[in-house]
Structure 1
Amino acid sequence: MVREIHRQFIEKIEGFKIVGMASNGIEGLQLIKDSKPDLAIIDIYMPHKNGLEMLRGLRAECLFLDVIAITAASDIETVHMVLQQGAVDYIIKPFTFDRIKKSLEKYKLYRLKLKGKKELLQHELDQLLFMNGVEEKESDLLPKGLNVNTLVKITAFISHEKSPVSAEEVAERIGIARVTARRYLDYLEKEGKVKIHVQYGGVGRPVNRYGI
């Protein structure tokens, strides 16, 4: 029942897809080996192999996926050990939908900022390291007026297109104004997430098109 509630919560958050659910730590470890997800959400109190043992098993086998713990375990020792094993967040039951949504939205932004990068500057790393603070506002992570959901939608749209797209095409696909689309595209180009391809030909000014 708890797994089903978690599934319903997660499927309401855009950008996430459930690839499988496990009833215990042994099943969970095998499921991760088979499906290779980007992110695993684990409990601590699981039969056969608890969440901490499962997490240690993941690290021992060099399965470097990201992990969020959602659990009733609130003692300092457990929290500390789970975070030591590299969990990106720790949510204590009972929790609200808004709490898990905030966690997953920040995770999306974290992955977006890492995409396509081979190295990080210090200020970029600082931003990633401190973005998990629950009091931090989304506006602190993006330029004023930009929204993480829209940013993810635009990035996903461009990455799935076979050829570069214009700001007008992005605006039409996402449902935003062209000037707004251009602001997001300028930000993505500045961050190195997209590249500009100038299209010449015909009458008028050249058209900037954007691709991954």
Structure 2
Amino acid sequence: MERIRVLLIEDDPMVQEVNRQFVERVEGFEVIGVASSGTEGLELVSRLEPDLAILDIFMPGLDGVETLQRMRSQLLSVDVIVISAANDMATIERMLQNGATDYIMKPFKFERVKQALEHYRHKKETLVSARAVTQSELDRLLFGQRLGAAASAVGADLVKPDTSGPAAWELPKGLQVVTMRQIIQFLKGQSEPLSAEEVAEGVGIARVTARRYLEYLEKTGDLRRDLQYGVGRPLNKYVWTDKTSS
């Protein structure tokens, strides 16, 4: 596959340079342009026709939310990964609803950007191939290895594919796909076990909500719970399991 051409849409010069360095450290990607505003970003998307745009939200004038909406209304053929300090679920949901393929919250690490780009490259390579895929392959393509594995599990309390749509999911009552995806994306970028409170703070949700998702993912086997002892009651912390290496 040819190199993936990336446009950066970010108003902060320092973050522009960090994003450029991170993208170009990942094999198969090149930055072909940088825009400092949403308006400039739309013009460059139209003129340069990049494969992927990395989009900020908080920008003067045309913000990232409106920029992405205009990309879609103008039928611009570009995929979008959001890198932003916005951590409220309403904004995150709007960006995902408008077709963002991933959402990374500032401050971020190279490993998380690399993970997003490599997953995007795999999805791009799969989509341009002419072969048919299985449901489990499609699950991994859409949601990543761990959620795809959970979706293949059998049991009344486990995630099951919903045949009402290609990317629809039937989750236990009260759990939402958007929140599930955000929790998984956040945890994939962490190297140390995290408590429900730490996950809640990182994703921008209530602690009791985070605990429900973590307990569910522990039940599917995608998450391992570690008890950490200190002063007072033991603290539950959670870490991803790597099923592919077991």
Shorter-chain TM-score range: 0.5 to 0.7
- Which letter maps to 1:49? L
| SS of aligned partner of 2:126 | helix
* Deviation of the 1:119 alpha carbon: 5.5
Cα offset, 1:114, TM superposition: 1.4
**Distance between the aligned counterparts of 1:101 and 1:124, measured in 2?**
21
Residues 118-175 of structure 1: CA distance to partner in whole angstroms, max 9, x if unpaired? 76543432221222753489x879xx8xxxxxxxxxxxxxxxxxxxxxxxxxxxxxxx
Distance 1:120 1:53 in 2: 34
Residue 142 of structure 2: SS of its match in structure 1?
Answer: helix
Instruction: Pick one of 27, 34, 52 that aligns with 1:21.
Output: 34
Structure 1 residue 70: Cα displacement: 0.2
- Pairs within 5 Å for 1:166-185: none
Matched, 1:95 2:108: yes
Q: 1:7 aligns with which of 20, 31, 51?
A: 20
Distance 1:31 1:118, change over 3 A: farther
The verdict on how the C-alpha distance between 1:140 and 1:15 changes in structure 2, with shifts beyond 3 A counting, is: farther
Task: Select 2:67's aligned residue among 35, 54, 60.
Answer: 54
Alpha-carbon separation, structure 1, partners of 2:243 and 2:67:
34
Structure 1 residue 64, shift from structure 2 partner: 2.8
Q: What is the aligned-residue identity percentage?
A: 45
1:57-206 maps to which residues of 2 (within 5 A)? 57-117=70-130, 120-131=133-144, 133-134=184-185, 135=188
CA contact (8 A) 2:50 2:78 kept: yes
Alpha-carbon deviation of 1:34?
0.3
Aligned position for 2:163? none
Is this contact kept in 1: 2:51–2:79, CA < 8 A? yes
Bigger Rg, structure 1 or 2: 1
Alignment match, 1:202: none
Query: 3-state DSSP class of the match of 1:88?
Result: strand
Is 1:38 the counterpart of 2:51? The answer is yes
Classify the secondary structure of the residue corresponding to 2:32: coil
Q: CA deviation at 1:2?
A: 1.3
Q: CA deviation at 1:36?
A: 0.6
| Secondary structure, aligned partner of 1:19 | strand
Structure 2 alignment gaps of length 5 or more: 1-13, 146-183, 189-221, 223-239
How many residues of Structure 1 are paired with residues of Structure 2 in the alignment?
141
Query: Mean alpha-carbon deviation: is it higher for 48-57 or for 127-136?
Result: 127-136
Q: TM-score of the superposition, structure 1-length normalised? A: 0.61
Q: Quote the RMSD (CA, aligned, Å).
A: 2.2
Q: Which has the higher strand share?
A: 2
Please, what TM-score do these two structures have when normalized by structure 2? 0.53
One-letter amino acid of the structure 1 residue matched with residue 66 of structure 2 = E
- CA deviation digits over 1:74-125, x for unaligned, max 9? 0111011011101010000000111101111111111111122276543432
Structure 1 unaligned segments of length 5 or more: list them.
145-212
C-alpha distance in structure 1 between counterparts of 2:144 and 2:120, whole Å: 9
